[in-house]
Structure formats: structure tokens, C-alpha cells
Amino acid sequence: MNELRAVIQDNTAGSPTVSGLKWTHLSVAEIVRELFQRGIKVANEVVSRLLGEMGFKTRQQVKSKTKVPSRDRDEQFEKIEKSIEDYKNTGDPVFSIDSKRKESLGEVHRSGDVIANQAAEVLDHDLPAYSDGEVTPHGIYDVQENTGHVTVTTGSDTGEFAVASFQRYWEEVGSVQHASAKRILLLCDCGGSNSYRSNTLKYHLQELSNELGLPIQVAHYPVHCSKYNPIERREFSHVERAFSGRIFSTASDVAEAAESTSTQTGLNITTAELPEFQPVRKSGKRVPKPPNVEYDKDLPDYNYTFNPQ
């Protein structure tokens, strides 16, 4: 053990940014050779075990730091948890929503493994011009029922698409599972089509609230905290596994792959397709704020409710 520690210390560097982090560029086989040169014969398995006892193992970098601290981070997380608990107590639904990254169509490379009888040959470059288009998947996760939904479109990821996705889901699935709902809580990120700055999103949510006759409360996770949105780890991580190594030719292929997602905890995915949505033009960004929005008195940017008119 002492000789192993000496070898590690001689070939270990410290991190200039992470306190206490030590790493070595040597592999287990190289450590074995180094020990042999010092007169010690030992098997690779023994070195691996001893490294583990010393706290050394193969590790990856963890994306956990933010460049800028999130504004009102702790206060907003407390509000979200209280809102979820309140909705659970009254039996009203809580949905986590977000857009997944776009999927390319055509014979373009997609990372991941798939069990197949032979390798799939695809284009040797992943240039956007080589794809046959893109598909935007929008996800909805029912926090209480542990069910998911994915809506796909070949158009742009806009606030109008996000609301249309939820409306389609509610009409076909959500209203059946939550027939006695008196209100709806949506958990979403701060950017993209779910941006808290998007008047387009708010405009269409107000229209949806009017149509459903139900209040819709929106709670945004703070800036740089999208990974805490439940849909990321409870739905999208499993959908991504179902997409692994696939070749998509149409939006229907993407929807079919999403619908095949399942987990041992009982997660099931339903899907839908919507027509193409056009990008929001500059004039569209000046959509007036809905007049019947109730903003939270403490954190109005992150929390607001649409009441049916």
C-alpha cells in the first residue's frame, strides 16, 4: 500500500479550481508496470481494489457549477415545493413541462447503442445541411401519476407550440385522468418556449385557461436550475435511452420511439403530432400581456396564475 501511495503521489496532479481534487494520468496497467519497476509484483485487480480503498476510481466531470448565482433560488424552490404539496392535498394535477432537444431526420449519426444484427451505416459528417429536417419534441410529465407525454412537430419550438402541446394532451389524456380537477399547476424552466419573459406563452395560456374554464398556475424553476425540473430526470432521461442509436426518417418515427419508453417503476408515454409552427417574428414578440393574470406578490417573475375570463 505504501509503495502504491508513493507511485500515486509521484504521478498525481491537483486541481487549480476544485479544492482537494487529486487525479492521476496513469492507468491501472501503467501503475502495475511502475510497481514492477520498483520490485513489486501485483495483479491489476489488486491495484484496482487498493485504489478504491484510497478513494480513487474512474470519475467524470459533474456539471454542477453556475457562472452566475440564480436569482431568488432558495425562495423559489420553497414556493414550488409548497405549491406542489398544496395541489397534492386538494387532488389537483401538477405537470412538469419542457422541450427536449431537437432530433435530426435522415441518415445522420446519433450516439448510443442498439442491439442489431449489423451496424447501421450513416453519413460520415453530422452537418445540419445533410439532415432531412428537424423534429421538436415537447414533453409533459404528470408528477402525481408518473405518466408522460411527448408531442412532436417539424416546426419551431415556440410558446404557441408549448401551449398547443399541453392543450392536445389535456383534451386526450389529462382531462380523463383528472376529471375532477379544479385547477392546474405547470412547472417549467425559465428559458426557451417556456420563458418567463415570453408574452406569447402567457397569451396562449390565458386563452387555454378561458377555454378550459380552469385556473392555470405557472411556477418557473430559477435561472440555471432546469435540471431540477422533474421531467428532466423522470421522463427525458428514459426517452433519451429509447432514442439511443436510432435513425429517424419522419416525425412519426420520433413519436413511435418515445411511445416505446417504459420503466420498471411504471412510467408510460403517450404521444401526439402537431403541424408545423412558424418562428415568432419581431412583431409577434410584442403580444400584449394578458389582462387577467394574477402575479405572486413576492416573486412575480417566476410565479403567476391565469384565471378564466
Asked whether the whole model's pTM tops 0.75, one would answer yes
Pair (17, 115) in one structural domain: no
pLDDT on residue 284:
46
Residues in the chain: 309
> What range does the domain containing 37 cover?
1-54
Pair (118, 263) in one structural domain: yes
Strand partners, 141: 96, 148
Q: Is residue 236 part of a domain?
A: yes
Q: Is residue 67 part of a domain?
A: no
Distance separating alpha carbons of residues 131 and 88, to the nearest angstrom: 44
What region, left, alpha or beta, does residue 52 occupy, with left being phi > 0 and alpha being psi -120 to 50 degrees?
alpha
Distance separating alpha carbons of residues 82 and 217, to the nearest angstrom: 13
Task: Give Cα 183 distance to the centre of its chain.
Answer: 25
CA-based nearest residue to 110, from 139, 101, 153, 118: 101
Pair (191, 263) in one structural domain: yes
In degrees and rounded to multiples of 5, residue 42 shows phi and psi of -150, 150
Residues 111-136 have pLDDT tens digits of: 887 777 888 888 888 777 888 899 99
Pair (115, 191) in one structural domain: yes
Strand partners, 185: 94, 217
Pair (93, 18) in one structural domain: no
Pair (32, 84) in one structural domain: no
Q: Pick out the chain residues at pLDDT < 50.
A: 283-284
**Radius of gyration in angstroms for the set of CA atoms belonging to the chain, rounded to a whole number:** 25
In degrees and rounded to multiples of 5, residue 235 shows phi and psi of -130, -55
pLDDT on residue 65:
67
Q: Is residue 85 part of a domain?
A: yes
Distance separating alpha carbons of residues 142 and 231, to the nearest angstrom: 9
What region, left, alpha or beta, does residue 112 occupy, with left being phi > 0 and alpha being psi -120 to 50 degrees?
left
Pair (271, 167) in one structural domain: yes
In the chain, beta strands by DSSP E = 12-14, 22-24, 94-99, 103-104, 134-142, 147-153, 184-188, 216-220, 268-273, 293-295, 303-306
Distance separating alpha carbons of residues 178 and 5, to the nearest angstrom: 60
Pair (34, 86) in one structural domain: no
Q: How many domains does the chain have?
A: 2
pLDDT on residue 69:
65
Q: Is residue 62 part of a domain?
A: no
The set of cell numbers assigned to 228 is 431540477
Q: How far is CA 246 from CA 56, 105, 251, in A?
A: 35, 10, 13
Q: Is residue 59 part of a domain?
A: no
Pair (141, 3) in one structural domain: no
Q: Is residue 226 part of a domain?
A: yes
Pair (39, 111) in one structural domain: no
CA-based nearest residue to 93, from 159, 154, 145: 145
Q: Is residue 61 part of a domain?
A: no
Distance separating alpha carbons of residues 4 and 47, to the nearest angstrom: 8
Pair (167, 236) in one structural domain: yes
Residues 196-209 have pLDDT tens digits of: 988 889 999 999 99
Q: Is the dihedral of CA 46, 48, 52, 55 positive or negative?
A: positive
Could you say which DSSP state residue 233 is in?
A: I
Pair (135, 199) in one structural domain: yes
CATH number, residue 177: 3.30.420
Q: Is residue 63 part of a domain?
A: no
